[in-house]
Amino acid sequence: MPRFIQKVSKKTGLPPGTIVSVGTRPVGKTKITVFDFDQNNYQEKEISTIEECFPFKDTPTITWINIDDLQVDIIEKIDTHFGIHPLVLEDIVNTAQRPKMEDFEDYIFIVLKMLYKDQDKDEIIAEQVSFILGPNYVISFQEKPGGDVFDPIRDRIRNYKGRVRKMGADYLAYVLIDCVVDHYFIILENLDEKIEQLEEILLKDIKPEFSQRIHQLKRDIIFLLKQVWPLREVVSGLQRTESKLIKKTTVIYLRDLYDHSIRVIENIETFRDLLAGLHDIYLSSLSNKMNEIMKVLTIISTIFIPIMFIASVYGMNFKHMPELEWPMGYFVVLVFMGIIGLSMVIYFKKRKWI
């Protein structure tokens, strides 16, 4: 199960701005890719040392630097060269952030959560993705390697599809954020299917493990809401910021993105309401089943206990029991038992128990 809280206590007492990696990150080789383009040209390269991308900072072209694995020394070099505030770099490396958007005049810092499904464990994974949007560059930081998420955007840049080559760095940042948000819908559809399955099963039968499946889905939804809830604020912050980094033409796209964010949040809240409803039917189904079980027990007991009593009366060994001597005694008693049993059955029919 995904934990809701990452261990950050080892940071307690350190000076603010200390860059300490907090997430559980495999220390692999950092992969840095650079895209540099304008309307006419584009250039793409994978670099091995962070210094190679520094020259791009001052060219008039749009530069997108994607850093796949977060290593403290690389981050520190970016600090020095791009003039980023140490608190920002601390937040990039400490992947326990909540999504946020901070405006530092020269650049805008954005933290988001990329959500995907771990296929093996059927778990939702949240990976931190941070963006630094400068005047003509975007730097994106991914918590884990495997940056194929942004491949469609790479293709668009290469093939001059869409508007991304024509517009500025702010539009590039929008496209990257949009790509992250689009992935949320895949998670939502998966959840939707699971809830539908649960609903269908529940209409047929109830099982004890059902309760745990509902709980698991509830946890997923709490987890998702926690990651996605601040998104609204982030996007509306971008929309309303007075920073000169966001051009007017891009704001219209951000409005669309804001709409998507609200749809994501509303869908999750709808799921939460549905689950609450499912839990309610589950509980009343349990009560119903209990009633049904008790009815069977009560019917059997109520029919047989009185006639067993009669049988046990005539099983007594008293010397003087006149009925025992009657030639038809046995049959009379059998018939009497039958009448009692039948009248019980009729009583239950009347009460609609059978």
Choices 40-48, 60-68, 126-134, 272-280 (CB under 8 A): range interacting with a second copy: 272-280
Does 97 interact with a second copy (rule: CB under 8 A)? yes
Distance CA 158, CA 41 (A): 9
CA 292 distance to own-chain centroid: 37
CA dihedral 178, 168, 93, 230 (to 10 degrees): -40
| CA pair distance 295, 344, nearest whole angstrom | 13
Beta strands in 194-241 (DSSP E): none
Q: How many residues does the chain have?
A: 354
Those residues with Cβ within 8 angstroms of residue 344's Cβ, 6 or more apart along the chain or in another chain: 299, 302, 303, 306
Q: Shortest approach of a second copy to residue 81 CB, angstroms?
A: 20
- Shortest distance, position 210 Cβ to a second copy, whole Å: 8
Q: Shortest distance, CB of residue 298 to a second copy, whole angstroms? A: 4
Tokens of 330: 């046995």
When asked if residue 81 is in the footprint of a second copy (CB under 8 A), the reply is: no
For residue 220, give both structure tokens: 């997923």
Distance (Å, whole) CA 44 – CA 37: 8
Select 65 or 153, whichever has its Cβ closest to a second copy.
Answer: 153
Q: Interface with a second copy includes 127 (CB under 8 A)?
A: no
Among residues 46 and 280, whose Cβ is nearest to a second copy? 280
Q: How far is the CB of 109 from a second copy (least distance, A)?
A: 11
Cβ proximity to a second copy: between 108 and 307 the closer is 307
Check binding of 117 to a second copy (CB under 8 A): no
Q: Per CB under 8 A, which of residues 227..266 are in contact with a second copy?
A: 252-253, 255-256, 259, 262-263, 266
Residues 37-66 as x/- pattern, contact with a second copy by CB under 8 A: ------------------------------
The smaller minimum CB distance to a second copy, of residues 244 and 320, is found at 320
Q: Looking at beta carbons only, is 54 or 116 nearer to a second copy?
A: 116
- Near a second copy by CB under 8 A: residue from 31, 77, 98, 117: 98
- Write out the binding residues for a second copy, residues 151-210 only, by CB under 8 A: 151-153, 156, 161-164, 174-175, 178-179, 182-183, 185-186, 188-189, 192, 196, 199, 203, 205, 208
Does the protein bind a second copy through residue 285 (CB under 8 A)?
A: yes
> Which pair of tokens denotes residue 210?
């059902």
By CB under 8 A, name the one of 27, 119, 318, 350 that touches a second copy: 318
Minimum CB separation of residue 77 from a second copy in Å reads 20
Q: Hey, what are 77's tokens? A: 């070099």
Rounded Cα gap, residues 73 and 141, in angstroms:
14
Nearer to a second copy (CB atom), residue 43 or residue 287? 287
Q: Tokens 């001059």, residue? A: 160
Q: Which residues of 106-115 are buried (b: 16+ CB within 10 A; e: fewer)?
A: ebbbbbbbbb
| CB closer to a second copy out of 43 and 298 | 298
Closest CA to 33 of 61, 67, 4, 74: 67
**Which CB atom, from 235 or from 333, has the smaller least distance to a second copy?**
333
The 3 state secondary structure assigned to 110-143 is EEEEEEEEECCCCEEEEEEEEEEECCCEEEEEEC
Measured in whole angstroms, how far is the alpha carbon of residue 115 from the centre of its chain? 8
